[in-house]
Chains A and B, each alone.
Chain A
């Protein structure tokens, strides 16, 4: 049984005021095991990006506990501990145009972490490290001197990946890393991520709204809806046996590159239901969890 590298317990993230809070995340719990990819899927506003940013400590959390490698993330207080945390956990961002500083070259972007952490101070050493990172993501060493705006979207995203790898982390949160790319470029980037995972033993939290790509890269999937995780399980299990009506609706809305199928496919619309007070996380099938009351679960399984 692999180790848990990340544990999220009862995470709540409320913005706005105390009287009128915006409940971006309203109580979610999940674990990520070493070496796996957990896909976090949902539509805009469901709180998935906020989850990723809360875990990496870009936001302070309202309530709940986040354990990284067994240690509460709030305990990484001192500067030394904080830097240690940064070395272990990194993030890849969504927008290839906004995630790179337009005034910096590719080499400077990748090496920024070295400056912050005081690594690779010698010029030759640093150049070598930058070169090897560029090659690891499929770019050329000569690209180190070029500015961000000279690259295409897919190439920029790869620079972002090289930046995330620069500190040799063990856990990477990918926040919609392919949503802004063309479909054919998405495949390049996803293949690269899979390859890097195998080579370096990385663990991913892959946040996305594209269900087919998420299924392709994830081992397990969590479906988020309005700040709650409504379903969680192995990727194949979720796609072949969805239980929660929102998951079913989401899957039925994904268009497939198959014209005959599309002609006859019927979409299942989802009618919003407030989560009833008694709802809890139930293991409906082996390793397949659903947020529901017992009655809800019974009726959903019956309709299957």
Chain B
């Protein structure tokens, strides 16, 4: 049985703003095991970035407030930890890779120094020289050519993809058990993105690191995730293995996301099934199911009561009234069903 690295229980995070209190995260639950990758998928405003920042207690307080819940890292709740204690956790146990490689690196510091700084701070080695050796090793591991030379380079001398690799090297420098990647490839070209994803999978295999990968690109999720949490309006609305989510989605929002992605096999004459409208205002979240007003399959009860999490299988859960035993059986929208059929046929053809 794999070890549980992270458990988040009923996390609630609010922000006090000029316009009112924003309920950014409204009761999020998930687990992460050793050596696996959990993808958190959602649009802007879904709360995915706030959740990931909260895991490292990077939310500025004020205006942020940890209103409720627990974040158990290796069984210990980190919410009550002081800033000083958190500093030991950050980098050492949990590390973060940010979205924009241009601003994640200090432009006035050589990249080698930015790595050794982390190593020395967490006292992973005892001398400067050892730190330098380890840093060069890391640069090599993340695929930077001529690492001994590049050790002395400044960030602006490197391309976007290279910089992101340096960011990953810094994140790995103190051997964290959990890596949080917040849209690390969104700003990169597709070929560089593919390289970075391959790199992360390699690292995971070698060091058995757990990864939380935040993105809004379902293709990337299919590539890298073992399990997926779909977030909407501050809550997880569907949760399961990557096969559960892509081949057997149960929440209308997930259907919407899958339907709005063009497929390389897509027929260009049919319109994409876009989800109409915009996500709701989280200062006053709507009554009932937050997705109801954009949901063509909404039930009357969706506008009255918030649905609980229904179990689909041991690994698969969805927060929708459609899974209630008394609810009508709504089939998958045609375009999504057709696409899944196509995938499965292809898989059979390739003898899987």
Contact = CB atoms under 8 A, between A and B. Distances in A.
A183 B257 contact: yes
B276 interface: yes
Nearest to A270: B191
B346 interface: yes
B222 A255 contact: yes
Interface in B213-227: 216-223, 225
B260 interface: yes
A48 to B, nearest CB: 12
A184 B260 contact: yes
A235 B43 contact: no
Contacts of B273: 187
B191 A255 contact: no
Contacts of B216: 182-184
Nearest to A260: B347
Interface residues of B, number: 49
Nearest to B220: A255
Interface stretch (A18-26, A116-124, A148-156): A148-156
B296 interface: no
B343 A255 contact: no
30 contacts: A154-B278, A155-B278, A182-B43, A182-B216, A183-B217, A184-B260, A184-B274, A184-B275, A187-B272, A187-B273, A188-B274, A191-B271, A209-B190, A216-B268, A217-B268, A239-B264, A253-B190, A255-B193, A255-B219, A255-B223, A257-B221, A257-B263, A258-B246, A258-B346, A259-B222, A259-B225, A260-B243, A260-B343, A261-B343, A261-B347
Interface of B: 43-45, 160, 189-194, 197-198, 216-223, 225, 242-243, 246-247, 256-264, 266, 268, 271-276, 278-279, 343, 346-347, 350, 352
A71 B218 CA distance: 44
Contacts of B279: 152
Interface of A: 43-44, 152-155, 182-188, 190-191, 194-195, 209-213, 215-217, 235, 239, 249-251, 253-262, 264, 267, 269-270
B44 A153 contact: yes
A153 B43 CA distance: 11
B264 A194 contact: no
A198 to B, nearest CB: 11
Nearest to B244: A259
B343 A258 contact: yes
Given A44-B189, A183-B218, A254 B263 contact: no
Contacts of B258: 257
B114 to A, nearest CB: 24
Contacts of A257: 218-219, 221-222, 246, 258, 261, 263
A262 B223 contact: yes
B272 A190 contact: yes
A254 B264 contact: yes
A255 B278 contact: no
What 5 A-B pairs are tightest by C-beta distance, nearest first?
A: A255-B219, A187-B260, A187-B274, A216-B262, A43-B189
A255 B194 contact: yes
A184 B190 contact: no
Contacts of A217: 268
Given A188-B260, A191-B271, A249-B191, 8 more contacts: A183-B257, A184-B260, A187-B272, A187-B273, A212-B262, A212-B266, A254-B190, A255-B197
B105 to A, nearest CB: 18
Most B CB within 10 A of own CB, among A184, A185, A210: A184
